[in-house]
């Protein structure tokens, strides 16, 4: 939940949970003192049989405090669609982490504009959806993607090195968070071929950035970033190889946090309760 900061919010929320027989497992809060906004993430065990009722009533309670709240049950696993093109490192990484139990959600489909990863997808026992995208037919292609995502009832869309820019219209109509991995330390090297840009500028660190996609390219709220050291000895190919490792871990971390409801977006920034 988040909203205008004022005294007593922590006491009111923890008191509400205690009175209903719940037990707080984790609680984390943050006040943006400049903006006067209070953020809180509370994880609690409801009294036996009380989870459904708690969820229904908490939102109203939070509203009575002037807060906007989102309530999620940890037993419900969000459905996730992963969009890919030809690069397969984030694709394998996310699926294997899912199988290893690292993600609090289920990857229910792979959607791609190329058929390259169809066999690998099927060997994982996952459905593969091919929707080619061309510049000329993009609006229609995106309409097909949207229809599919709606039909799959996904709650999170992950761009795992998906090489098409999604239109503002798509993002608007999707109405679902879209997490993208950009292969640079944003805001440096936004746009195409960031490793080539990095090599040309002679930086000593390369990075990767996971962020929510917004209508402005590579400008959405940043969830996670990391960097790796490079030297003059590294060719652009080396940067790409090292970058793959960054992209995998940064994207996976962002997806994991999102699925555990640890990421709050406000303005163009995120609060990550890790």
Return residues touching a second copy (CB under 8 A).
7-8, 10-12, 14-15, 17-18, 22-33, 39, 88-89, 92, 96, 100, 102, 123, 185-189, 201-205, 207, 221-227, 231-233, 235, 241, 244-245, 249, 267-272, 274
DSSP-derived 3-state class of residue 48: coil
Two structure tokens written together for 57: 């009533």
Nearer to a second copy, 100 or 136 (CB): 100
Min. distance of Cβ 143 from a second copy in angstroms? 32
Sign (positive or negative) of CA dihedral 185, 225, 1, 212:
positive
Q: Which residues 6+ apart lie within 8 Å of 132 measured at CB?
A: 113, 114, 141
Active-site annotation holder among 218, 219, 238, 274: 218
Min. distance of Cβ 263 from a second copy in angstroms? 10
Reported residue count of the chain is 274
Does the annotation count 218 as an active-site position? yes
Nearer to a second copy, 170 or 185 (CB): 185
Say if CB 179 and CB 107 are below 8 A apart. Answer: no
Nearer to a second copy, 170 or 273 (CB): 273
Say if CB 130 and CB 56 are below 8 A apart. Answer: no
Q: Which residues 6+ apart lie within 8 Å of 207 measured at CB?
A: 184, 185, 186, 188, 225, 226, 227, 228, 246
Q: What are phi and psi of 228, to 5 degrees?
A: -140, 150
Q: How far apart are CA 268 and CA 200, in angstroms?
A: 29
Nearer to a second copy, 78 or 207 (CB): 207
Min. distance of Cβ 108 from a second copy in angstroms? 20
Min. distance of Cβ 138 from a second copy in angstroms? 29
What residues act catalytically? 218
């Amino acid at each position: 939940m988040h909203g205008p900061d004022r005294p007593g919010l922590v006491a009111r929320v923890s008191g509400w949970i205690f009175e209903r027989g719940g037990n707080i497992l984790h609680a984390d809060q943050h006040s943006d003192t400049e903006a006067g906004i209070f953020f809180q993430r509370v994880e609690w065990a409801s009294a036996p049989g009380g989870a459904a009722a708690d969820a229904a009533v908490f939102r109203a309670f939070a509203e009575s405090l002037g807060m906007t709240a989102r309530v999620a049950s940890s037993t419900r696993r969000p459905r996730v669609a992963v969009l890919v093109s030809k690069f397969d490192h984030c694709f394998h990484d996310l699926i294997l982490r899912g199988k290893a139990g690292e993600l609090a959600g289920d990857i229910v489909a792979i959607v791609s504009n190329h058929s390259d990863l169809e066999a690998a997808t099927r060997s994982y026992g996952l459905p593969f959806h091919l929707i080619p995208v061309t510049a000329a037919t993009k609006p229609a292609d995106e309409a097909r993607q949207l229809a599919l995502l709606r039909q799959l009832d996904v709650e999170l869309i992950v761009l795992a090195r998906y090489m098409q820019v999604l239109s503002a219209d798509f993002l608007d109509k999707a109405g679902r968070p879209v997490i993208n991995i950009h292969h640079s330390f944003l805001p440096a090297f936004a746009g195409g071929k960031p490793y080539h840009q990095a090599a040309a500028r002679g930086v000593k660190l390369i990075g990767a950035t996971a962020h929510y996609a917004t209508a402005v390219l590579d400008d959405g709220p940043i969830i996670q970033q990391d960097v790796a050291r490079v030297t003059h000895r590294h060719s652009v190919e080396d940067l790409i190889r090292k970058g793959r490792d960054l992209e995998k871990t940064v994207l996976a971390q962002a997806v994991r946090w999102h699925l555990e409801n640890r990421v709050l977006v406000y303005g163009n920034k995120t609060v990550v309760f890790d």
